[in-house]
Structure 1
Amino acid sequence: MPNKTKKIRYIFFIYWFLLAYIIAALIWWFISLNRQNEQMTNFEIQQLNTSQPQYTQQVNNIQQIQKRKTAQYIGEGVTFFLLIAAGAAFVFRAVQRQLQFSMEQQNFMMALTHELKTPIAVTKLNLETLQKRKLEESQQQRLIQTTLQEANRMNSLCNNMLLSSQIEASGFRISNEEINFSDLVATCVQDFITRYPQRNITTAIAKEIFADGDQLLLQMAVNNLVENAIKYAPKETTIAVSVTEEKNNITLQVKDEGKGIADEEKKKVFNKFYRIGNAATKGAKGTGLGLYLTRRILHQHNGNISVTDNFPTGSIFTVNLQSSVQKN
């Protein structure tokens, strides 16, 4: 990483040096042309016969030509300068975005390696323990439960990666069917309650709320929000999930009591590969795909997602969807 940083600094140094050289050359040519214009004007005036009646008029004409050429040089110089500045800004921003994206991809690969390595190692260890040792039934069930949790984590990660690739390639077609959104959210939350019995997850889900959309994608979006709250909230705190409906508008909220998200980070958390880099979240697992996919899924369902502060501490992720008319 230090060598790569040095290379980037070297590249930017060359970039700014060449830009400064081009601008300096442009200024030098303007000064040189303007000085040449003045010399030609003085030379032409000296060649005039002062005794001629049209001398004053001829001098004025020569000076007018000088002013027009000076204005021409200024106009061309300003035009070239603006073109150079616009091109330099475009190149700088493009390179900066590419470098940032490259860093995000590198961080993603590091996080992905860790995310895959951990459940594989835990699963292998648990299976070897079951194979080599005779354990009591309760111990066996605990190891099996842990193995299933890690397998679910790996399955969720693979689904997120696959869906992200398909969405980027425009190769995923969503289905549109009427879904009992209340039951979908309740099922997702119950799964997390089963997987994390030590966590305090509460629900306030209104009954018989229906929405049109892809059940698999909406289920993935809800899972990503609840899993995100579990990752970033302390174990002793409460995670609250609620679903309400008002005037054909469905509102899903997932509240946690974690460290919260700074105002300048609130929009960035929905970017691909983005993870909050403060000391409070560095230890949290994740790849930076969950919230990005959630936003993309909701946009495909004509919905939206936002994040606000949960007082006194934590975050509230709010999802808005259009409800469908229940068929009798």
Structure 2
Amino acid sequence: MKKNKNRLALLLIISSIALLLALQAFWLSNSYEKAYFDLRRETNGLFRSTIMAMRDSLFTQSILPIAGDTLDNVMERNPMDSLWRGRPGETSQVRVYINTQNVKGDSVGEILKPLAGKLRTRQFTVGRSFMIQLTPDSLSIDSINFHFTKVLKKNHLDVAFKVRGGKQLPPQVDFTKRHFRLNEPQWEDSLPQRIYSNSIYSDWVRFDPINRYSVILSDFRSIIVKQIAPQILFSVFLTLLTTVAFVVMYRNIRAQQKLMELKNDFISNITHELKTPVTTVGVALEAIKNFKGQNNPELTTEYLDIAQNELNRLNILTDKILKTAIFDDKGVEFNSEPVDLNQLVSQVLGSMKLLLDKQKAKVEFKTEGSDFNLIGGATHLTSVVYNLLDNALKYSLAEPQISILLQENKDTITLRIKDKGIGIASEYKKKVFEKFFRVPTGDVHNIKGYGLGLSYVDSVIRSHKGTIEVESEPGKGSEFIIRLPKS
């Protein structure tokens, strides 16, 4: 049931993140497309204005003033028109002469309106004549490159480009059939665009009826990315924030589930441990009553000792539970006092001598150095050593072998307690210091414990500003290493 709930929660989280990524991909795609067409529209306008400016400049340069009007002798003049037309010879040039004396109201305004407009805006001396030289000219590609580069730099557009030109004679009208038809295809000024390609093709710009020019932009993606950088950063931030939120939420759910499992295991263990001494005391008292223990002082004393030991064990158990609750609220509190760690370990070994002898344990205690004094809580440090030795006995096979090494360092004192027991798997090394955690052994009650001992040890060591770690391999035993600062 729990696995199904976890799978459903994980599926919903993954689906939500996938949907969020899809929406952001769609949004960024639209942003990229908009930036692409904005860049194309801007470069189109800049290129068109560049070509138009160059055409106007070239046309303006073809207007040349002449000193006098001596055309009467060589040209046929229309007295009603200021436009004098010279008959072109075999050369490719056509020369048109315009006299500004009668600019207003003649055919110049109708035939050459753009030119007439330019002439009206300029301050020409009345009576002077000008020559306009029209030649089948075109723009130089190098010149277009030069001017368009300047325009791009002025508009802060650093993009590579290539100018191309094309020529095509104007289409001729074919009247051989009844319907109107052009015998040559029309130009297409616009070219199809591929948004995600690495090229932008501008529209064709007509220089004259024959010549036209276009530009191809390349390596422009960095410009588009800069334009949509805020959208990209926001998308990345939102994705990371959402992912982290989902991960934290899922981990909290898993942690709560694990805590619930540990709590259930703890309740199962503690129920067993509480029931055992109570049952033992009950059996001892019942034996005294049924077998008339008052008539046998030795038997009565033995049963009372059994009851007393079980009650002491029950008292220790309840005391551990109460201390754990206090540590959660206030942390480990102790009265600082000088402690000789060498003497403390020796006292613990002395108090556990009967238990060690009963299990035929071999204990080796060595020291390296001479000064093992520090400031701390003697009672709590005694409990730390007792808990570690008790675990070494519980998790060792027949005839436990325990080695204790006390080392003096420059600023710290190191205590190493090593056994040759069943060991701890690598995935449980960090978890053994968690409250209620017990290494799975297949049978919950085959080794007595409550999952509180190492949690208590870790709290005491941290309260003394020390560290504790474990090195272990399954089947080879465990070594707990404690480092405490000197006084």
Match of 2:262 in 1: 108
Shift in Å, 1:14: 1.3
Separation in structure 2 between the aligned mates of residue 161 and residue 316 of structure 1, nearest angstrom: 26
Which of the residues 383, 386, 400 maps onto 1:220?
383
1:12-42 deviations in Å (ceiling 9; x for gaps)? 2111111111111111111122223334555
Q: Which structure features the higher share of strand residues? A: 2
Separation in structure 2 between the aligned mates of residue 9 and residue 302 of structure 1, nearest angstrom: 41
1:54-102 deviations in Å (ceiling 9; x for gaps)? 6974995597798687224542343123313431342244224323432
Written as runs of structure 1 = structure 2, the 5 A alignment for 1:212-251 is 212-234=375-397, 236-240=398-402, 242=404, 244=406, 246=408, 250-251=413-414
Separation in structure 1 between the aligned mates of residue 299 and residue 403 of structure 2, nearest angstrom: 32
Q: Assess if the C-alpha contact under 8 Å between 2:270 and 2:450 holds in 1.
A: no
Separation in structure 2 between the aligned mates of residue 119 and residue 306 of structure 1, nearest angstrom: 28
Match of 1:26 in 2: 24
Separation in structure 2 between the aligned mates of residue 251 and residue 222 of structure 1, nearest angstrom: 13
Match of 2:116 in 1: none
Separation in structure 2 between the aligned mates of residue 76 and residue 274 of structure 1, nearest angstrom: 48
Match of 1:200 in 2: 360
Match of 2:463 in 1: 300
Match of 1:269, SS? helix
In structure 2, the CA distance between the partners of 1:227 and 1:320, relative to structure 1 (3 Å rule), is same
Separation in structure 1 between the aligned mates of residue 396 and residue 240 of structure 2, nearest angstrom: 45
Which amino acid in the other structure matches residue 242 of structure 1?
I
Give the TM-score of the pair, scaled to structure 1: 0.77
Separation in structure 2 between the aligned mates of residue 228 and residue 73 of structure 1, nearest angstrom: 65
1:136-184 deviations in Å (ceiling 9; x for gaps)? 7777666656555554544444444433333333354321112344453
Q: Assess if the C-alpha contact under 8 Å between 1:243 and 1:253 holds in 2.
A: yes
Separation in structure 2 between the aligned mates of residue 264 and residue 50 of structure 1, nearest angstrom: 71
RMSD: 4.0
In structure 2, the CA distance between the partners of 1:280 and 1:268, relative to structure 1 (3 Å rule), is same
Match of 1:79 in 2: 233
Structure number with higher relative contact order (C-alpha < 8 Å, ≥ 6 residues apart): 1
Which of the residues 255, 272, 275 maps onto 1:121?
275
Match of 1:289 in 2: 452
Separation in structure 2 between the aligned mates of residue 121 and residue 282 of structure 1, nearest angstrom: 13
Separation in structure 2 between the aligned mates of residue 46 and residue 245 of structure 1, nearest angstrom: 82
Q: Assess if the C-alpha contact under 8 Å between 1:259 and 1:280 holds in 2.
A: no
In structure 2, the CA distance between the partners of 1:180 and 1:8, relative to structure 1 (3 Å rule), is same
In structure 2, the CA distance between the partners of 1:275 and 1:92, relative to structure 1 (3 Å rule), is farther
Which amino acid in the other structure matches residue 90 of structure 1?
V
Tell me which structure has the larger Cα radius of gyration. Answer: 2
Moved more, 263-272 or 206-215: 206-215
Q: Which structure features the higher share of helix residues? A: 1
Q: Assess if the C-alpha contact under 8 Å between 1:257 and 1:310 holds in 2.
A: no
Written as runs of structure 1 = structure 2, the 5 A alignment for 1:1-328 is 2=1, 4-42=2-40, 45=44, 52-53=52-53, 57=148, 70-133=224-287, 134=291, 147-148=307-308, 150-194=310-354, 198-205=358-365, 210-234=373-397, 236-240=398-402, 242=404, 244=406, 246=408, 250-277=413-440, 279=442, 283-309=446-472, 313-322=476-485
Q: Assess if the C-alpha contact under 8 Å between 2:36 and 2:224 holds in 1.
A: no
Match of 1:275, SS? coil
Shift in Å, 1:250: 4.4
1:236-288 deviations in Å (ceiling 9; x for gaps)? 13142535454676443333221112344434423444433365988434343
Query: May I ask how many residue pairs the two structures share in their alignment?
Result: 321
Separation in structure 2 between the aligned mates of residue 96 and residue 214 of structure 1, nearest angstrom: 40
Q: Assess if the C-alpha contact under 8 Å between 2:438 and 2:451 holds in 1.
A: yes
Q: Assess if the C-alpha contact under 8 Å between 2:426 and 2:473 holds in 1.
A: no
In structure 2, the CA distance between the partners of 1:29 and 1:38, relative to structure 1 (3 Å rule), is same
In structure 2, the CA distance between the partners of 1:311 and 1:165, relative to structure 1 (3 Å rule), is closer
In structure 2, the CA distance between the partners of 1:109 and 1:51, relative to structure 1 (3 Å rule), is closer
Give the TM-score of the pair, scaled to structure 2: 0.55
In structure 2, the CA distance between the partners of 1:170 and 1:122, relative to structure 1 (3 Å rule), is closer
Shift in Å, 1:112: 2.3
Separation in structure 1 between the aligned mates of residue 231 and residue 20 of structure 2, nearest angstrom: 12
Separation in structure 2 between the aligned mates of residue 247 and residue 36 of structure 1, nearest angstrom: 68
**Identity score, percent:** 21
Match of 1:10, SS? helix
Q: Assess if the C-alpha contact under 8 Å between 1:295 and 1:305 holds in 2.
A: yes
Match of 2:481, SS? strand
Which amino acid in the other structure matches residue 360 of structure 2?
N
Which amino acid in the other structure matches residue 400 of structure 2?
T
The gaps in structure 2 that reach 5 residues or longer are 56-143, 160-219
Which amino acid in the other structure matches residue 103 of structure 1?
Q
In structure 2, the CA distance between the partners of 1:169 and 1:226, relative to structure 1 (3 Å rule), is same
